[in-house]
A and B are shown apart, each in its own frame.
Chain A
């Protein structure tokens, strides 16, 4: 065997796909008359076939779970990130809701000052808006951060935000004041955050779906 060291070297090169053409020719010629090397070559090729017929095994079914349970703890933020990734619609809705809420909240907190919709002939006394006797308001009236006393007539809806409609007689300074007038429309009184939101949503809804 040692005598044919070179040829054996060629056989290995052949098995590794490294044999040049002239070397292949050389090996072939040698194998034609050398039975010993023929045998050796055959055994090598057979060895490879045998190795390749070796058994195969598969990992146990819970292998992945075992690995995952042994991994070091991941950073906390990742869990939320992944959750958001998996529920894009919920995430979008949540973000929208947050913006909407914060928008309304700023609007709510914008100013504590008395705001009243532009109508003529209204009297403002401190935080109270008065519709004087004999005055006819022919539009919707909105009062924010103040009370309303109606002595005249309103031909429209009345909305009072963060305040109230004073209906009964009340002592305010020198004069007696009460709402004794007429309101020919709906009266909305909003004086809490939740109601304010509800009112906003309702208004939005009406605006969106109004056929006007």
Chain B
């Protein structure tokens, strides 16, 4: 199970941060991801206005 972001697609809007239930994301110059907090729920991917975030559950 992995979380990844494509920084070429990301528009730094912070939408993913606003919906993250566990405060695992933060917007600085790029999105900062805290693997320890993340539950891989995929809500950030759903909110993202572009296709920048990928959460794979395998």
Co-assembled chains A and B: no
On A, residues with C-beta under 8 Å from B are none
